[in-house]
Amino acid sequence: MTVETDGAADAAREKAVDAALSALGLDDKARLLAGRDMWSLPAIPAVGLGPLVMSDGPVGVRGRRWSADDPSVALPSPTALAASWDPELARRAGRLLAQEAHRKGVHVLLAPTVNLQRSPLGGRHFEAYSEDPLLTGAIGAGYVRGVQDGGVGVTVKHFAGNEAETDRFTVDNRIPERALRELYLAPFEAIVAGARPWGVMAAYNSVNGVTMTEHAELIGGVLRGEWGFDGVVVSDWLAARDTAGAIRGGLDLAMPGPRTVYGPALAAAVRAGEVPEELV
């Protein structure tokens, strides 16, 4: 497919989305930005929109049932995949996971994890690729291309600075500009440029004094502004803390539901004059 036909398809989709949104009121639009339950977004039948289902994980599609009678393919850990130094192998793995996602009725995988293995004490290194931002970005881009080749979305995570589990809900990681860009942001930048992911997940932690679900500088300024990311920014589960702060900071989707800082809370904030409706 050529760049020109890609652009035409994008324009057609944007036109269809704009038409659907123009038919929705404030409450329905706010509902679409909040989880219906732990793993899905609500349906809006009036505009032909069905529920969207998300699922972990990086080495297999868990699905929604978490049951022994609904098994999943289990691939080698992402660290082992990265040790192959083979982005095409990662792409093949992604294609397999897309097939699994279709089988389980999943539309978006909550993966890949592209945080760096900066310390041997990192509690989730098994689902990350490596300590090297270049290798991590290359393997991650291959994985994303493979999953999305199969018509399933991804959420590249955890943006940004979530390299350790200790106090990750509350820690404020103070990172100088050069280290932030050359290490911690670099895999995300490479994947946005090389694979055009459908989604990015905002982390629990803060970076330089601002919680990531409200970080307008990194989400709006860097991710969307400098890199041209045009997908969805979703919170890590329960990471969004403040309605006005999150929507002004650039967070598109607050998970899980039904109780989130979006949905009815966002509609109420608009009606109270705390948030302009054009941000919804």
Pair type for strands 153-159 and 108-109: parallel
Q: pLDDT-derived band of residue 20, with 50, 70 and 90 as boundaries? A: confident
240 falls within a domain: yes
Strand, helix or coil for residue 40: strand
3 falls within a domain: no
Checking if the pLDDT of 139 tops 70, the result is yes
- Active-site residue, from 69, 230, 236, 252: 236
140 falls within a domain: yes
34 falls within a domain: yes
Checking if the pLDDT of 108 tops 90, the result is yes
**pLDDT tens digits for range 164-191:** 898 999 999 999 999 999 999 999 999 9
Checking if the pLDDT of 1 tops 60, the result is no
Cis upstream peptide for 57 (omega within 30°): yes
118 falls within a domain: yes
Percent of the chain with pLDDT over 70: 98
Checking if the pLDDT of 10 tops 80, the result is no
Q: pLDDT-derived band of residue 120, with 50, 70 and 90 as boundaries? A: confident
Give the DSSP H/E element, type plus range, for residue 177. helix 177-179
1 falls within a domain: no
Model pTM score: 0.94
232 falls within a domain: yes
201 falls within a domain: yes
Checking if the pLDDT of 7 tops 90, the result is no
**pLDDT tens digits for range 195-250:** 999 999 999 999 999 999 999 999 999 999 999 999 999 999 999 999 999 999 99
Q: 102: buried, middle or exposed (CB in 10 Å: 19+, 13-18, 0-12)?
A: middle
| pLDDT the model gives residue 3 | 45
Pair type for strands 210-211 and 52-55: unpaired
| pLDDT the model gives residue 5 | 55
Q: pLDDT-derived band of residue 17, with 50, 70 and 90 as boundaries? A: confident
Quickly count: other Cβ atoms within 10 Å of residue 227's Cβ: 16
| pLDDT the model gives residue 218 | 99
236 is catalytic: yes
Question: How many domains, in total, are found in the chain?
Answer: 1
- Tell me the C-alpha distance between 139 and 78, whole Å: 9
Strand, helix or coil for residue 97: helix
**pLDDT tens digits for range 25-59:** 999 999 999 999 999 999 999 888 999 999 998 88
Pair type for strands 232-235 and 210-211: unpaired
Structural domain that includes position 127? 21-279
Contacting residues for 164 by C-beta, under 8 A, at least 6 apart: 118, 119, 121, 122, 123, 171
Q: Whose structure tokens read 């660290």?
A: 79
Name the token pair of 183.
Answer: 């290490």
CATH number for the domain spanning 102: value is: 3.20.20.300
Residue 184 phi/psi, 5-degree rounding, is -75, -30
Cα-atom radius of gyration of the chain, to the nearest Å?
Answer: 18
Q: What is the mean pLDDT of the chain?
A: 94
